[in-house]
């Protein structure tokens, strides 16, 4: 069954604004059915009207139902889930600039619209029991304030992972935010890429990126992280300081052949074993990763079989 993603826009916005079209396109490219409903009377959002409209659009919940909310859209999703009778866990949920309280509102009319959203109680337990994974993105310079208060509520009441990004305002196009790669990364699996002898190859005594592998990886929307054991000297020798993706190393303490390496790496990036897949040329490192539940593929550098690698990626992402 295809995964369904519902993006719920914010107060005063519409589906063609901000980062909604960009994110919709990205998820459609990886097979999601994406819906960005235009919510009713967006200048004066009403709880019952917005929740009822979302219900009509979504229908029944299942494990392949995902949500991304922006601002008041986050509250809409929360209040919708609160009322739904569903015993399982839905897919991942992402909130961007979500809030339970606001400050710096201009005009009495605006404040009156916000009051019901702020004061109407939420049964967080009913919401929490339906969400298996919730990530909330907030901004360090949120113009409507209450940053720490909202952060604590998400963490305490919904057990959310809260990430504060620097200087994103309210995550609108007026703030210069037209893409949110971080939201994409939270839902799609991350590709863990072996460094030397896989992504980085030797060429007449020098080291360079294996272009054909790079081109293959670039065809996938997923985040990529290069894994290595290189120390500082090796890092420069292999050109790992010039990689197109994040590079992770523990400088041989421990090596990738030790499962502890992967436990530390996952914790460092806030990932779980089911959030990643991995390919590696060293069979012992493969066994190490698999021992903690990471789906892995043994890539043989002598063969450079990118067709088989692509099949592994296609089947497991």
CATH at residue 303: 3.40.50.1000
Do 159 and 203 fall into the same domain?
no
Do 201 and 254 fall into the same domain?
yes
Do 124 and 173 fall into the same domain?
yes
Helix axes 72-83, 47-58, angle to 10 degrees: 70
Question: Which structural domain, as residue segments, surrounds residue 230?
Answer: 190-316
Do 136 and 15 fall into the same domain?
yes
Long-range contacts of 239-242 (CB under 8 A, 24+ apart): 239/200, 239/207, 239/208, 239/209, 240/195, 240/200
Domain boundary among 140, 159, 187: 187
Do 182 and 195 fall into the same domain?
no
Do 213 and 257 fall into the same domain?
yes
CA atoms within 13 A on the CB side of 278: 30
- Cα–Cα distance between 81 and 95 in angstroms, integer? 14
Question: Count of domains in the chain?
Answer: 2
The token duo for 287 is 């066994």
Task: Give the closest residue to 136 by CA, choosing from 190, 188, 68, 77.
Answer: 68
For residue 290, give every residue at least 6 positions away whose Cβ sits within 8 Å of its Cβ, in sequence order, or none.
296
Do 23 and 155 fall into the same domain?
yes
Query: What is the structure's pLDDT at 24?
Result: 97
Query: What is the structure's pLDDT at 174?
Result: 97
Do 64 and 183 fall into the same domain?
yes
CATH at residue 173: 3.40.50.1820
Do 18 and 95 fall into the same domain?
yes
Query: Model-level pTM greater than 0.85?
Result: yes
The token duo for 2 is 């295809």
Count CB neighbours of 316 within 10 A: 14
Domain boundary among 166, 187, 208: 187
Domain boundary among 150, 169, 187: 187
Are 241 and 248 within 8 A, CB to CB? no
Query: What is the structure's pLDDT at 253?
Result: 97
Do 176 and 202 fall into the same domain?
no
Do 123 and 219 fall into the same domain?
no
Do 70 and 200 fall into the same domain?
no
Mean pLDDT of the chain: 96
The token duo for 190 is 């991350």
pLDDT, tens digit only, all 317 positions of the chain: 789 999 999 999 999 999 999 999 999 999 999 999 999 999 999 999 999 999 999 999 999 999 999 999 999 999 999 999 999 999 999 999 999 999 888 778 788 999 999 999 999 999 999 999 999 999 999 999 999 999 999 999 999 999 999 999 999 999 999 999 999 999 999 999 999 999 999 998 899 999 999 999 999 999 999 999 999 999 999 999 999 999 999 999 999 999 999 999 999 998 999 999 999 999 999 999 999 999 999 999 999 999 999 999 999 99
R_g of the chain computed on alpha carbons: 22
């Amino acid at each position: 069954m295809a995964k369904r993603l519902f993006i719920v826009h914010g107060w005063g916005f519409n589906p063609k604004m901000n980062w909604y079209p960009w994110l919709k396109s990205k998820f459609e490219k990886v097979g999601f059915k994406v819906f960005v409903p235009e919510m009713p009377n967006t200048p004066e959002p009403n709880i019952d009207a917005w929740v009822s409209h979302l219900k009509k659009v979504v229908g029944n919940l299942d494990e392949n139902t995902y949500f991304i909310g922006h601002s008041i859209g986050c509250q809409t999703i929360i209040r919708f889930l609160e009322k739904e009778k569903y015993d399982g866990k839905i897919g991942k949920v992402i909130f961007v600039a979500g809030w339970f309280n606001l400050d710096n509102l201009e005009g009495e009319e605006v404040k009156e619209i916000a009051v019901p959203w702020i004061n109407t109680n939420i049964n967080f337990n009913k919401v929490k029991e339906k969400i298996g994974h919730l990530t909330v993105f907030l901004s360090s310079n949120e113009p409507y304030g209450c940053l720490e208060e909202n952060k604590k509520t998400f963490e305490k009441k919904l057990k959310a992972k809260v990430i504060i990004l620097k200087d994103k305002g309210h995550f609108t196009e007026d703030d210069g935010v037209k893409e949110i790669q971080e939201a994409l990364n939270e839902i799609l699996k991350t590709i863990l890429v072996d460094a030397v002898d896989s992504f980085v190859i030797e060429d007449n005594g020098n080291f360079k990126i294996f272009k054909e592998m790079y081109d293959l990886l670039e065809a996938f929307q997923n985040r990529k992280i290069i894994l290595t054991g290189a120390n500082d000297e090796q890092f420069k020798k292999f050109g790992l300081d010039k990689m197109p993706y994040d590079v992770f190393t523990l400088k041989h303490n421990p090596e990738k052949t030790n499962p502890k390496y992967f436990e530390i790496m996952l914790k460092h990036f806030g990932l779980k074993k089911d959030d990643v897949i991995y390919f590696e040329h060293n069979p012992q490192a493969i066994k190490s990763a698999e021992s903690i539940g990471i789906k892995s593929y043994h890539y043989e550098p002598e063969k450079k079989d990118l067709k088989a690698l692509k099949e592994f990626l296609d089947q497991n992402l």
